[in-house]
Structure 1
């Protein structure tokens, strides 16, 4: 049984962070929990595609389903299930509802901390926009792995989401450092407060949960020339830079790189981005 976790000070090593987060309960959006209960009541009318589509807008529920499917797959020596819908097909609808009972919600876990709830909702909204941009880029490139690229962008910052859930005071410290110095790199602020970088924690958790290799690789930033990784990187970058509007100083560089990736003029690329958004 996963336990509720509330950290107020940094842990001693990356391994300690991985162990703490891997064993902790992951709450989901209240609307996801409500939709699941509604679908549970009409289980005979539910199909994997509709259920998968509903879950795919919630990064933390997506994470839970993919991690659970990886556990099942290991026992059955089956190929990777790289999307939520494929994971649900592997499980079956009835076993899915049996394994995923009523879900704890982010709103109940962080209900006493409005600042943390706001910080978390900003990261989740950014992830949802990044996943939309990434899916648009992949579809434009006719990439057969478009659904996986969508998942990779949605999950790109899941370690930051988990930090807001399990260690909101530390997440707020990082946010305060960056608010005080807009030029401070997030990795520097993370090392200062946590002693680790969240990207390293994320990759270690993906390995611990044995998430699909392709998903782990696309979420990594090791090979920036790979067009699939580039789709995710640029989508995440653009979502970050446009979180408060399209006038951020980083947007022109993003636009140049996206136009290059999609083989379009910058004017055409900008029109496409507004369509995606």
Structure 2
């Protein structure tokens, strides 16, 4: 296993290190928050939730805050951004999170890390959009829960770029130089464990809602809702490499199996999601996946 000086030596040490990070938000998210705050008398919970759902870091920050404020009499987990905002309130949200630091400020001396984290956050948003589309076609009991789980699925990777970007870069280089290497294999080689293992431990350590933790755990892919999250995040990951990624045909087949549709429909669904997501490229300063779509 390749390690870097001062890197945590065990999974427990990683939990301690990542739990000590001050969670930032994307600068564009903060710009949009300031814009909404300037007309706070005219905005709704939905307006605010649509903003937050672009940013997995702010989503994490909001959910962790709600969990820390949870009262003993609250028997049911709150699993979506909108439900958390209903409890916090619009005014309470701006009061608590209005002074959040930006990712760009935290990484201003590390341009490669900033570029890396923007790509992962953009990918997480695309995964959430794919999950939303799959859930809608499946007539899921609550598509927003699945969408939120997909947005948060790769938080461990995002936090790695924040805290130890040199290790994140080693994983990236390993994957680039070994096309047949899978992400979990590269993570295990560099870190000693997979991102999903760290993600699951973090979710438990932070007392994130049990349903979200379950939906993000790839051990339960026999369940359709967990499989939706896994397929959405896998497809988004493969798309961000390039549209001809050799793993994508398996993703389309998994989508076809999940939705009981043909491969053409699965491909069209992903293509349409990517085109819609491309309209929001400014949020992440990342070239949209849709620019790589091959001509029909």
Same fold (TM over 0.5): yes
Partner of 2:144: 147
Q: Distance in 1 between matches of 2:68 and 2:250?
A: 41
CA drift at 1:44: 2.4
Q: Distance in 2 between matches of 1:173 and 1:9?
A: 15
Partner of 2:74: 77
**SS in structure 2 of the partner of residue 26 of structure 1:** coil
Q: Does 1:218 align with 2:225?
A: no
1:133 to 124, 130, 140: 130
**SS in structure 1 of the partner of residue 220 of structure 2:** coil
CA drift at 1:206: 0.9
Unaligned stretches of 5+ residues in structure 2: 275-296
Q: RMSD value over aligned CA atoms?
A: 1.7
Normalised TM-score (structure 2): 0.86
| Cα offsets for 1:34-87 (capped at 9, x unmatched) | 222233333322321111110011111011111111112245524211111110
1:64 to 57, 61, 64: 61
Partner of 2:92: 95
Partner of 2:233: 236
Unaligned stretches of 5+ residues in structure 1: 1-6
1:198 to 192, 195, 198: 195
| Cα offsets for 1:123-143 (capped at 9, x unmatched) | 111111111111100000110
5 Å matches for 1:99-178? 99-178=96-175
**SS in structure 2 of the partner of residue 243 of structure 1:** helix
Q: Distance in 2 between matches of 1:269 and 1:135?
A: 14
Normalised TM-score (structure 1): 0.92
Partner of 2:247: 250
Consecutive aligned runs of 4 or more in structure 1 exceeding 6 Å deviation? none
| Inter-CA distance 273–186: structure 2 relative to 1 (3 Å threshold) | closer
Q: Distance in 2 between matches of 1:35 and 1:78?
A: 33
Q: CA contact under 8 A between 1:10 and 1:195: conserved in structure 2?
A: no
Q: Does 1:184 align with 2:166?
A: no
